[in-house]
Structure 1
Amino acid sequence: MSRPRVAVIGAGWAGLAAAVELAGFAELTLFEAGREPGGRARRVREAELALDNGQHILIGAYRECLRLMARVGVDPDAVLLRQPMNWHRHGGLRLHCPPLPAPLHVAWGLLAARGIGWRDKWRLSRALETLKRQGWRLAEDCTVADWLAVHDQSTALVGGFWRPLVLSALNTPLADASMQILANVLKDSLGAARADSDLLLPRHDLSALFPQPAWHWLAGQGAQLRAGCRVRDVAFADGAAWVDGERFDAAIVAVAPHHAGALLDDAALRQRLQLLRYRPICTVYLRFGQSLRLPRVMTGFAGGTADWLFDREALSGERGLVAAVISAPDEAILALPPAQLVARVLDDLRRLQPTLPEPLWSRVLVERRATFAAVAGLARPGTRIGVQCGYLAGDWVDSPYPATLEAAVQSGVNAAHVFKQDWMKQKN
């Protein structure tokens, strides 16, 4: 049987995952509008600077990410710093889950947590136990804020634990965020094996984790790689996919949702995509002329501008570099001039080190459409477009997860599997 020709449009983590999964089964052509693969999780270059276009983290439950990294020759243990769940927020909650078997690691972490009283520890433990007894499934989705109110979570718990957790995981405010999606995240982290809750912090730039190794690996597998090639039109006719007039047996569209709607002549899909809302993420980089050590490589702030600070020197050897992440910033934050936003983050850092000098340089990176808003009751598009040879992949495609690297990779793997099944049925 001859191998099918498959076009993968978009070389972010989803498109690369689909291509890696199809290698050996199909003749692949991978289209990427940019000069580099990786999408919204890659290293970007600006003049003399090279910085990640965001500060992503993984957790031990991200099995598909870890599996595909290994498949393209990346050793996850070499490129990721694995740590037990460590929640260190300056002026707030501090929770450390020791390397004990599940669920003892969570129980011990809550018992020894600092920054909250015994009554709040009991409330938090009871809320998590309620979710676990329900199999991490809600009878009907609701907002996180509504669920927390029903389950008697105090103002201190909401501000010190739930709010930073939801913003970090879902990038969506509590008043809108889906409790079911959050429960899925908790199930696969705190509710699973101990190692699943481990934080995996990148020791190398994001491109080195998967995009560049996958790109080179695919070239070695004979895939055609077309960087700097923006696809203008995808159509389906005569049982084939036509990408800018070139015939393929199938096409996997793995681009941002607003681009997918423009590429595909599918009114039903465009209508569903119009229901998606988007949330920004702001990353502020500051480089100092001296080594800077944060209390933890990932340190949070209670009442600060930054949600989390990352010690890039401790992680990746980038001397004096700190990355500050502001999840789902409001319009007031986004409207600040970069210099003012940098000054506010510097104020956060000086709460840790009062004598800290001015940075040598700083950069503010804002992704206006960093993620879709993981709102309650959201119905996301499925993998199949509606024609036999067209498929979707991306962190916004139907998945239990919010917009994460694992959701993107899972969607690419799933698109590849669905296509394989369809192709084999067609040939049989």
Structure 2
Amino acid sequence: MKRPVVHVIGAGAGGLSAARALLDGGACDVVVHEAQSHPGGRRRTFSDAELGRDFDTGAFAILSCWTATLAVIDAVGARAEWRADLRPGVAFADFATGARWRVTPNAGRWPWWLLDPRRRGTNLRFADYWSGRRLLAAAPEATVASLAPGGPGMERLWRPLTLAALNCPPETASAQLLGGVLRQIVAAGGAGLKVLAPARGIGRALVEPLARSLERDGAALRFGRRLIGLGREGDRVASLDFEHDRLDLGPRDAAILATPWAATAALLGTPPPQAASAALTIHFAAPPPPAAPPVVGALNGPFDWLFAHPGGMSVAVKDAGARLDTPRDELAAACWRGVAALTGLSDAPPAWRMAPSRRAAALATPAETARRPLTGTEFGNLFLAGGHVGRDFPDGLENAVRSGAAAARAFHGF
């Protein structure tokens, strides 16, 4: 009997992860269709011929408790392409006061570090952390600010954490989504709070080895294939209509839509996203000082996070919608002055490249989260994947990978 074929539409992190999980299940053939000429979706590494360097389309650091992402990285043999901070925790700097501190968890699951003021960070109390337990059982309509403490605890802990995880300020961010992040951190213990970043770009660290592994194990990757419609027959999808051809599905075949939320909504006739959050990354072609920490959370300054990597430094501006219309030279100069202040480097800006994104992620408010689609659809043989799918984790790499695995499981139960 001919094996069923699953057609994965979209070669971003969600689609590639779905294809990997389907191949691992061994019950079907897999074809990945991508509208662009390359895999990766919004996570790409591009080459700059003028500077002779590669740059990413964003800042793609992950945590060591992102188990789904790390499982895929390990499965495709790409762990060596990631740089890991040797110690759990994150360094912080406050531009307004000049204060610097580090949140330093112990490696085990019992969080005794919360009792040590030197490990908690400057002006952070045990109560500032302990109050976060309310986020673990947050109601769908609750915001982070409605449950987390105010004062220094908010500004030095919960605001930077919320911006990092949800790309949204705590006043409007979903407490339920941040609670999902905290649950994963708590389950892993302090060892799960190590920051990992691509050593030579997200392309080499994830996208390229994952795509190669799919082709090696028998999947077909087809590029320049834009899906424009679905042929429907009762409660199933009977055909996939691409720009230049139509593909009929057999009775045991299925499809996984791993396309952006707006594209998925247009294909299914379901509600589209009402808003998205913006982000901005600036890459500077200047090597960091030898003792620079790999990641610094920056408060009250021109950017939110500073990343040091071999041969260069990058800054990330979260919730960046209000900044995207600022002249690029002006924005880059302001950010470099901040980098120079934190690192002791010259104020003269080096060469830089900017990667703005007006639709970096689904807006992480309670209202928009409640509208996010789930894995299943009205069609028995059609499933969804992508960072925006599901309502218990923010739109990002970890959720994209998790959603791909969930779509594959849904097919196996089909």
Is this a same-fold pair by TM over 0.5?
Answer: yes
How far off is 1:189 after superposition? 0.7
Letter in 2 for 1:60: S
Rounded to whole Å, the distance in 2 between the matches of 1:171 and 1:4 is 39
Q: Do the aligned partners of 1:171 and 1:279 also contact (CA within 8 Å) in 2?
A: yes
Rounded to whole Å, the distance in 2 between the matches of 1:90 and 1:47 is 34
| 2:258 equivalent in structure 1 | 254
Letter in 2 for 1:350: A
How far off is 1:180 after superposition? 1.4
Q: Do the aligned partners of 2:289 and 2:343 also contact (CA within 8 Å) in 1?
A: no
Q: Secondary structure at the match of 1:146?
A: helix
Q: Alignment partner for residue 352 of structure 1, among 342, 345, 359?
A: 342
Rounded to whole Å, the distance in 2 between the matches of 1:175 and 1:107 is 25
Q: Tell me: CA distance 1:70–1:343, structure 2 relative to 1, closer, same or farther (3 Å).
A: same
Segments of 5+ residues of structure 2 without an aligned counterpart are none
1:385 aligns with 2:377: yes
> Please, what TM-score do these two structures have when normalized by structure 2?
0.89
Q: Tell me: CA distance 1:374–1:115, structure 2 relative to 1, closer, same or farther (3 Å).
A: same
Q: Do the aligned partners of 2:177 and 2:394 also contact (CA within 8 Å) in 1?
A: yes
How far off is 1:109 after superposition? 5.9
Deviates more, 1:41-50 or 1:395-404: 41-50
Q: Alignment partner for residue 294 of structure 2, among 294, 297, 319?
A: 297
Q: Tell me: CA distance 1:420–1:109, structure 2 relative to 1, closer, same or farther (3 Å).
A: farther
Instruction: Please show how residues 396-411 of structure 1 align to structure 2 within 5 Å.
Output: 396-411=388-403
Q: Alignment partner for residue 353 of structure 2, among 348, 363, 372?
A: 363
Q: Secondary structure at the match of 2:156?
A: helix
Instruction: Please show how residues 322-341 of structure 1 align to structure 2 within 5 Å.
Output: 322-331=313-322, 333-341=323-331
Rounded to whole Å, the distance in 1 between the matches of 2:113 and 2:382 is 43
Q: Tell me: CA distance 1:110–1:279, structure 2 relative to 1, closer, same or farther (3 Å).
A: farther
Rounded to whole Å, the distance in 2 between the matches of 1:163 and 1:109 is 22
Rounded to whole Å, the distance in 1 between the matches of 2:263 and 2:336 is 36
1:79 aligns with 2:82: yes
Q: What do the CA deviations read for 1:304-353 (whole angstroms, capped 9, x no partner)?
A: 1111111122xxxxx2x11000011241x212111000111111022124
| 2:42 equivalent in structure 1 | 40
How far off is 1:254 after superposition? 0.2
Letter in 2 for 1:256: P
How far off is 1:354 after superposition? 4.8
Instruction: Please show how residues 19-418 of structure 1 align to structure 2 within 5 Å.
Output: 19-23=19-23, 24-48=26-50, 49-74=53-78, 76=79, 79-91=82-94, 92=99, 94-104=101-111, 106-107=113-114, 110-116=117-123, 120-129=124-133, 136-139=136-139, 141-148=141-148, 153-190=149-186, 192-237=188-233, 239-244=236-241, 245-248=246-249, 249-262=253-266, 264=267, 266-267=268-269, 269=270, 271=271, 273-274=272-273, 276-288=274-286, 292-293=289-290, 295-313=292-310, 319=311, 321-331=312-322, 333-354=323-344, 356-377=346-367, 378-379=369-370, 380-418=372-410
Q: Do the aligned partners of 2:288 and 2:343 also contact (CA within 8 Å) in 1?
A: no
Q: Do the aligned partners of 1:301 and 1:348 also contact (CA within 8 Å) in 2?
A: no
- The percentage of counterpart residues that share the same residue type is 27
Q: Tell me: CA distance 1:114–1:350, structure 2 relative to 1, closer, same or farther (3 Å).
A: same
Q: Secondary structure at the match of 1:67?
A: helix
Deviates more, 1:106-115 or 1:180-189: 106-115
Q: Let me know the Cα RMSD of the aligned residues.
A: 2.2
